[in-house]
Structure formats: structure tokens, C-alpha cells
Amino acid sequence: MGTSKKILLADTTLRDGEQTPGVAFSPNQKALIAKRLAQCGLREIEAGTPSIGKVEMEAFDKILSLGLSARILAWGRMTEEDLKAVKHSGTTTVNLSIPLSDIQIATKLKTTRSSVLEKIKKYVSKAKDMGLEVAVGGEDASRADEHFLMEAIEVAQQSGAFRFRYADTVGILDPILTYKIISKLKKITPMLLEFHGHDDFGMATANSIAAWHAGVDSLSLTVCGLGERAGNGSLEEVAFFLSIRENVDSGIDLKALFSLCFLVARFSGRKIPRWKSILGKDIFLHESGIHVDGILKNPRNYEPFNPTIVGRKHRFILGKHSGRKSVLWTYEKLGILLSEEQARRILDQIRDFAINNKRTPSKEELIGFVDTPTALPASGTIKKSC
């Protein structure tokens, strides 16, 4: 595989992430997120769409005034209005996007392939003449005719663009297809290539990793996987996987990124599910007796990375799937030493409780399961704290 041990992780939380239905960051929130992204080690931030108007211009002013080490990009369509707004925003780099699939060319742009190629040539050249660095975004590239896609990339390169974004706009790719197409593109163009995935079929993170394996130069991602419809490729998922599993130098401070995710979740009004990979409250929580036994012997048995990386630790609860050793361990932490017979009896009570109440028993309820006259307190009394 054409794997590189370095990769540029480019953030588009403030642009595509904000396109999540109902999400709208204030200029101050955008500036704070941008600052925190840069502190996490992000070297490129797509900060928004200047043509939106005054509020977006204010956000660009605040972000650019911070003097961040990260490159700040604006996003725009290949139109006079968008290009003028980008220049007015004060940024020096733009991602100019245009649809490349036949369905979007015909029904969205109501034009032809040849006209699209002319637009790429015209607006990339014009942006360059305005003093802007230009990346070209191939919207819906994953549904584009392959030969036309290659034509578009060639025109973008000849017109002076420094990078081409391959966008899986409606999330139809799988990792195998992603690997094949990015590998092929890397062979036919000297341009830098970026992959931008959507999660409509739950493939965005996997596709991003596949694109990296194929040698892509950068990945366009969002914090918490925010974005249109099902969202985009998740920055934290990709960053953690590449760093921990692939030993990739992405320059990202994982602990700082972990913390930032909760700020973005708060600003976006989107709760993080308890089971969400990397971030979820319960991802180091264990109930299964087999898993608890394994964790007690060696945490690596059932934890893919050390929870201390994100300032957490593994936890155990008792429920339907618990085992006898889990009961003995939990009650010992409560200050109660149980006999084997007591543990078996209490385990039956715990399982019945979990089935009937659809939750795990509280500490007080666990203590209530103990047959006090025959229990064996660790130090003569029942301790009330874990």
C-alpha cells in the first residue's frame, strides 16, 4: 500500500460542520474554535463561506486577527460573487468548489461538462490573479465520470491550483473503492490530493483511512463528525486511529482535541451519545463478566487504547451480563467481602433487577442485596464509598 507516515488533517468544522441542520456558530464561537484547533496542532482550517454575508465576514475578521499558525481557508463557488466575497474576507487561500457529477452538472448547474471545465480554468486563473492560493473542490467527485474527473483535475492543475479535493459528497463509497480511486489519481497527477468524505452509509472514517493508505496528501474532517445529513469524516476518530494504531505523525495533541470536541458539541447543541467512539461516556465502561475478568487481568485484553490518554479510566457496572468475579470485585470495593455462595445468589438478584428495571442497580441497591447477618464485612463495617 502507498501509505505515508505523515498526513495533513484539515479541519472543516467551521464550514461544512456548521452546515449541520440547525447549527450556527457565532463569530466569537468560531474564533474560539479556530484558536483551539490551532492549539491542538491543526495546520489548516476551512473557516467558512464569506458569501453568506456580514456575520461570516465578522467571523473571518476575528479568526484572522488571532494570527494563528494554521492556514485559514475560505470556501466558495466558482462565481464572481463568491470570489469577490472571498477576497474581501481577508484570507489568502480559497477552496473553489464545483460539481463534477453528470446529475449535478445537468440538474443543479443546468450546464455541460465543457462549461464546467471552462469555469475551472476561468475562476482558478482569476483567483490567482487576485493574489489567492487556490484549491479546487470536486463536489460529488465520487459520482463523476472517471475520464471527466481526470480532465477536471488536469485543467485545475494547468490553471494554477495547488490541490484537488476529491469529495464523496453523498457518502456512497466504501473503503475498497476509495483506495482504488485515490491510488489511481495519485498515479496520474502531481497535484496534492485531499479526500473529503460524508457518512451517509457510516463509511466516512473508514474511507478517510483508506484514502490515507492510498497515499492521499490531506484529509478534510470535522470535529464530532458534524456536517450535512449524516455528517462528515470525524476528525477525532481519524486522528486517534492514525496516531495510536498506525503511528502516524499528524501533529495533533489528542488530549487537547478530546477536550475541544466537548466545546464544539456544546456550541452546536449536539449531545455526544454515551457510546460514541473516542468521546462517549461509556466507552471504557464494562459490564460483561468475561470482559471485566479480562480487564482485571490486563486492561489491554478489552481496551484498544489507554483511557488515561483522554484523562479517563475504565469502570465496571453490574447487570444482566455480569459474572461472579465482577460481583466479588465490586462488593469488595464497597467494603464487603462476599462468600462464593453469596456472590452467586446476589448475581441472580442483579440479573433479575437489570431485566425488570432496564438499568443497573445503584450502590445503595447493591448493598440492599446483601444478607447482612451472613455477610462478611471487610473491616467489620460496610463502607459507604467506592
- Together in a domain, 289 and 176: no
> Is 118 within the bounds of a domain?
yes
Is 56 among the domain residues? yes
Residues 233 and 310 in one domain: no
Residue 384 in domain:
no
Same domain? For 218 and 291 the reply is no
Q: Are residues 199 and 312 in the same domain?
A: no
Record the cell numbers describing residue 220, joined without a space.
478534510
For the cut 60, the answer to whether the pLDDT of residue 288 exceeds it is yes
**With 70 as the cut, is the pLDDT of residue 282 above it?**
yes
Give the separation between CA 228 and CA 39, rounded to whole angstroms.
Answer: 26
Work out the mean pLDDT of the chain and round it to a whole number: 92
Domain identity same for 244 and 330: no
Q: Please state the domain count of the chain.
A: 2
CATH code for the domain in which residue 114 is found: 3.20.20.70
Q: For the chain, what is the total number of helices (H) and then of strands (E)?
A: 14, 12
Looking at the DSSP bridge assignments, the partners of residue 376 are 337
Q: For 76-114, give one letter per residue: b (16+ CB within 10 A) or e.
A: bbbeeebbebbbebebbbbbbbbbbbeebbeeeeeeebe
Last residue of a domain, one of 268, 293, 309: 268
Residues 224 and 308 in one domain: no
In a shared domain, residues 204 and 328: no
Q: Are residues 189 and 336 in the same domain?
A: no
- Whether 308 and 268 have beta carbons less than 8 Å apart is answered as no
Reply yes or no on whether the pLDDT at 261 is more than 50: yes
Within a domain: residue 218? Answer: yes
Q: Let me know whether 364 and 260 are in one domain.
A: no
Q: What is the pLDDT of residue 1?
A: 47
In a domain, 273, yes or no: no
Q: How confident is the model at residue 374 (pLDDT cuts 50, 70, 90)?
A: very low
Confirm whether 277 is domain-assigned.
Answer: no
- In angstroms, the CA 12 to CA 119 distance is 24
Say whether both 133 and 253 belong to one domain: yes
Note the pLDDT tens digit of each residue in 143-187.
999 999 999 999 999 999 999 999 999 999 999 999 999 999 999
Please state the rounded mean pLDDT for residues 270-291.
Answer: 87
Q: In this structure, are 201 and 334 located in the same domain?
A: no
Query: pLDDT, tens digit, for every residue of 76-100?
Result: 999 999 999 999 999 999 999 999 9
Q: Which residues form the domain of 307? A: 285-377
| Pair 306, 219 in one domain | no
Domain ends where: 236, 268, 300? 268
Residue 62 lies in a domain: yes
227 pLDDT band, cuts 50/70/90, is very high
**Domain termination site, one of 241, 268, 295:** 268
Residue 275 falls within a domain, yes or no? Answer: no
